[in-house]
Amino acid sequence: MDGEQRKTATTQTATIIGDPQWKEFSENLQYLWCDGSAAIAVLPNPPTALEFSRDFVSKSRPCIIRNVFVEEGEGTPKQLTLGDIITTTTTQQQQQEDDRVITVDVTPDGQGDCVRTCRQHGTSTTTHGEEEEIFVQPKEYQMTLSEFRTRLRRQQEQQQPRKTSHDLDIHGRPVLTFHAEEEPSSSATMSNDNNDDADMHNGKTQYSLPPDDSVVYYSRQNDCLRTEFPELQSLFPVGALDWAQQAFGTSLDAVNLWIGNEAAVSSMHKDHYENLFYVASGEKIFTLCPPACVPFLYEHLEYPTAVFDVDVDVDENDHQHQWSIRRIVQGDDGECTKVRWVAPDVTSLMSANDNDHKSSLLERYPLLKHVHPIEVRVQKGDLLYLPSLWFHRVTQSCETVGVNFWYDMHFDSPLWCYYSLLSQLQPTNHSNSNSCE
């Protein structure tokens, strides 16, 4: 095929997939995952490996499974609260000194690892040129478990809405404003190692703490249950998941602990893992979209990356904390690192009101109308099976402890080939204007 023929073939493919085809595709997809209703299957007991493989894994269908981890003798689902974790991990000796130090993800408003609109302070208009969309990661702080609990509870007591509506961007997230001299600036490197922030005082380590009204979320994704809380491992024996491991046919990659409340949100994303998410206390709210929704979610758009930071101005009476962001750059030439991410928040399309907001969102992302998100509330004692590549946005309705098990996914599968193709089919008239210049 010469260059001209190849160009023609590409153009033909692009014209074949128009709005009617996307609509039909979306309608076909809509009930593949949940039998005609908007609810996923709930299994009262763990399935056999064959049932799980046949009915869920091979079809890439999520489900909720009950009675996976049960108390010996009593047969009730295992529960674990933050209070239980503090008791279990605090030894007699530690009680007299200090309790467990953990690394916590901290943001000004609960929205980290997502696309944020950054505006220079004093700019009242919202024209595109004066704002920039940047993928901003949380700042990591080290603090004791007790300090973490105090901050989490304080967050819950602060009943008032954190931001007023005029501060919200098209995604419903507070706009981040900066003074000219605080404009997101390039910094040579980015380190999440906060050891520099620790000091010794009276023989005890003192950690620098985040501003009082920050949102804290323990959301490490580094196998933290097994590495940072080994004493909790026996509560959730992986042997209880043999039926799943046999169905996946791959190995367990990580076991993660998640502790947070309604103030923290994990924005819509997908993982290359088969995911089993157990809710040990509280309630998690998952908003799910199947992998085939990838073209509708505009996941192909790329954003420059940054990390939240806190500048501390010390005057004679006070310490003033000011949130800022630091760009993440790579290499000696200071090139800005970019990431592909889903910017729109589909939950704003699911709420009954604010039609103006929905119209603006759909005007900017027209294919979003084909998305049929499913809301799944996972209660304490229940385990969610989330197949690999499923998009998920996650929050909590109250203080919640979760434990998830990530198994490697199969890349030698039709699902992966089909997903890769779909992720390349994009509307030709949509691009974002983010640049690092």
Ligand X SMILES: O=C(O)CCC(=O)C(=O)O
Q: By the criterion CB under 6 A, which residues form the site for ligand X? A: 219, 258, 266, 271, 275, 277, 392, 394, 402, 404
DSSP 392-421: EEEEESSSEEEEEEEEEPPSSSHHHHHHHH
Side chain identity at residue 48, one-letter code = T
Instruction: Say which residues have a Cβ less than 8 Å from residue 59's Cβ, sequence separation at least 6.
Output: 32
**Which of residues 68 and 329 has its CB atom nearest to ligand X in the complex?**
68
**Least Å from the CB of residue 393 to ligand X:** 9
Cα 136 from Cα 394, distance rounded (Å): 17
**Which of residues 236 and 277 has its CB atom nearest to ligand X in the complex?**
277
**Which of residues 62 and 108 has its CB atom nearest to ligand X in the complex?**
62
**Least Å from the CB of residue 401 to ligand X:** 11
Return the SS3 of 380.
coil
**Least Å from the CB of residue 345 to ligand X:** 14
**Which of residues 107 and 266 has its CB atom nearest to ligand X in the complex?**
266
Side chain identity at residue 47, one-letter code = P
**Which of residues 60 and 426 has its CB atom nearest to ligand X in the complex?**
60
Locus of tokens 């674990």: 80
**Which of residues 255 and 306 has its CB atom nearest to ligand X in the complex?**
255
**Least Å from the CB of residue 268 to ligand X:** 10
- Cβ–Cβ < 8 Å for 301, 341: yes
**Least Å from the CB of residue 402 to ligand X:** 6
**Which of residues 219 and 287 has its CB atom nearest to ligand X in the complex?**
219
**Which of residues 178 and 341 has its CB atom nearest to ligand X in the complex?**
341
Q: How many CB atoms lie within 10 A of CB 302?
A: 15
**Least Å from the CB of residue 266 to ligand X:** 3
Can you say whether the dihedral through the CA atoms of 153, 392, 407, 300 is positive or negative? negative
Cα 37 from Cα 164, distance rounded (Å): 36
Side chain identity at residue 157, one-letter code = E
Q: Which of 84, 72, 46, 104 is nearest to 232 (CA)?
A: 84
Return the SS3 of 181.
helix
The tokens for 421 are 């193709």
Side chain identity at residue 182, one-letter code = E
Q: Number of C-alpha atoms within 13 angstroms, CB side, residue 172?
A: 17
Angle 97-101-107 (CA atoms, 0-180°, nearest 5)? 135
Return the SS3 of 432.
coil
**Least Å from the CB of residue 22 to ligand X:** 27
Q: Which residue is nearest to ligand X (CB)?
A: 266
DSSP state for residue 57 in the 8-state scheme? I
**Which of residues 119 and 392 has its CB atom nearest to ligand X in the complex?**
392
**Least Å from the CB of residue 25 to ligand X:** 26
